[in-house]
Structure 1
Amino acid sequence: MTDLPPLREVIARHGLSASKALGQNFLFDEQLLDRIAAIPGNLAGTAVLEIGPGPGGLTRALLRAGARVTAIEMDARCLPALAELLAAYPGQLHVIEGDAMKLDHAELMGEPFAVVANLPYNVGTALFTRWLGGEEWPPQWSSLTLMFQQEVAQRIVSAPGTNAYGRLAVLAQWRSSAKLAMKVHRSAFTPPPKVMSAIVHIEPSEMPEGVSARMLERVTEAAFGQRRKMLRQSLKGLPGALDALDALGIDPTRRAETLSVEEFVAIGRALSCA
């Protein structure tokens, strides 16, 4: 264990405050941060990618867990605070100043890695869909442990027939397992956000054969883009989709939120093979 000054003291010394423009909210509770870092399992010696570490609250917990952390931070104000962790954990932390949306994470890490992050609210969903997209599978990441607004987290783990069920759920569940690992009260943050937060844990699973990720994205985009409409209306602009429904025995008067993930995969496979 490395003795470090309390995070509040570090923030005060460096004159830091959370930036609304960057979607920042700081966590100070060391026990809570340690619980978050424990969600992926034993991280000793594991390469971990953290996005938006800010002053390094979660970074500390990951380092205490023995992880080898690569942290991407675009707020230059936070770099001096992170530099203190570099000194305290020599060889265990690599800090990159930059925009995570513009970097190739797999190339940057160069080895299998876990992602653990209290994602900035303004880029969280975009990063999430990027990690889960693409034709190459399994991915280089072994798991994603991500904090979102609770509403977004519920959309990711939701089941068919619920109001939250949509494209994010299909994306997260068609070749991965997704679970809600922990809820985090707004009062745990400084400053407190207006909404509750929750942590989602994702692990890749086997990719169904014969279906293109891009085709599945097109199907869900069309289906949920007009989610109030029946499938025969929402999918009519997608060549071959109505024939696929007929061949699969899926009632075209159903709406997108009633279809299971497996049914969406079946439609995607039929169109991928067409």
Structure 2
Amino acid sequence: MFKHKKKLGQNFLINKDIIKKIADIGSINKNSNIIEIGPGSGSLTEELLKRNPKEIFAIEFDKDLINHLDKIKNNYNNFNYEISNALTFDEKNVFKKNSIIFGNLPYYISLKLLIKWIYSDPWPPFYDRMILMFQKEVAERIIATPNQKKYGRISILTNARLDVKFHFNISKTEFNPEPKVESSVLSFTPKKNASFQLKDLSVLSDLTKIIFNTKRKMISKTLKKLLNEQELKIVDFDNIKNLRPENLDFSFYYKLVDLIKCRS
């Protein structure tokens, strides 16, 4: 039995059928290089290893899990791990390309990790796919589309570089200890021809922060502060001035970035 640490956001998935479903999403074969974030009790790790990937490299923060991870390492010559902070760890030092990321992400750092991978450089990134578990409410924000209540900054930033797919929700009763919220599993695929460079993402992040700071208000005042008269015409200001930020399509925000870039 593993003693969870609340401060690390540890909730171990215990339903074996769900663990298999998560592994299935990865379509693992003998050439697969896998990075697992937070292997914890190793239940998903061992399910992935049963599928005979080329290699699995796990990143775990909790030093108390070393003995358990060493046991897995002794049983599988294609498994290795490092005790490290996933937020600062450079995965490119493990696999330069074509890797699959799996992660039951601690809720308190899940968005920070996603943003880290969105900002990967160079692009296309070192990963081909990511299969990640989030708090359900966070997942809803990630996959939200225009005119939905949860649509916002993280939806727009994600869509700029990644295609995202919802797979299924997981009841809180499937974890030990039981968390207070439901979870959702999403998968992500990099957009190979994504035009957003790092500096573009920074501009997009800043713009959406300003605009969604007044999410429930009409966008007219904010746009007048951000754009000059010519730029307002380009974005068809008269037809959108009475809309709210959540009503505007992804492409609108990307057009704003292009306008800002053209100034320099």
Normalized against structure 1, the TM-score is what? 0.87
How far 1:209 moved relative to its partner?
6.9
Residue of structure 1 in register with 2:37 after alignment? 51
Out of 215, 218, 230, the residue aligned to residue 218 of structure 2 is: 230
Residues 257 and 243 of structure 1: is their aligned pair in 2 closer, same or farther, counting only changes over 3 Å? farther
The code of the aligned residue for 1:218 comes to D
Q: Give, as a single letter, the amino acid of the residue that structure 2 aligns with 1:73.
A: E
> For residues 266 and 227 of structure 1, what CA distance do their matches in structure 2 show?
19
What's 1:7 paired with?
none
Contact kept? 2:161, 2:196, Cα under 8 Å: no
Instruction: State yes or no: 1:78 paired with 2:65.
Output: yes
Runs of 5+ consecutive residues of structure 1 not aligned to the other structure: 1-11
* Aligned equivalent of 2:164: 178
Q: CA separation in 1, counterparts of 2:180 and 2:139?
A: 16
Which residue of structure 1 aligns with residue 90 of structure 2?
Answer: 104
**1: CA distance between counterparts of 2:62 and 2:133?**
19
2:185 is aligned, of 186, 190, 199, to 199
For residues 94-147 of structure 1, the C-alpha deviation after alignment (integer angstroms, 9 at most, x for no partner) is: 110111112112233333311111011111110001111256422121111100
1:206-232 Cα distance to aligned partner (Å, 9 max, x none): 214799222222221111122122223
Distance 1:61 1:270, change over 3 A: same
Equivalent residue number for residue 218 of structure 1: 206
Deviations, residues 153-183 of structure 1 (Å, cap 9, x unaligned)? 1111111111110111111112321111121
Change (3 A) 1:253 1:79: same
Cα contact 1:241–1:267 (8 A) shared by 2: no
Q: 1:237 to 1:101 in 2, by over 3 A?
A: farther
CA distance in 1, matches of 2:245, 2:229: 13
Report % sequence identity: 29
Q: Relative to 1, partners in 2 of residues 1:243 and 1:148: Cα closer, same or farther, differing over 3 Å?
A: farther
| TM-score under structure 2 length normalisation | 0.90
Residues 241, 271 of structure 1: 8 Å contact kept: no
User: Residue type matched to 1:86 in 2?
Assistant: K
Q: 2:108 aligns with which of 122, 136, 140?
A: 122
Hey, what's the Cα distance between the residues in 1 that align with 2:195 and 2:96? 26
Runs of at least 5 residues in structure 2 that lack an aligned partner in the other structure: none
Partner Cα distance (2:73, 2:224) in 1: 56
**After the TM superposition, which of the residue ranges 78-87 and 189-198 deviates more from structure 2?**
78-87
Question: RMSD between aligned alpha carbons?
Answer: 2.0
Change (3 A) 1:207 1:230: same
- 1:231 partner letter: I
Q: Is the 8 A contact 2:160 2:196 kept in 1?
A: no
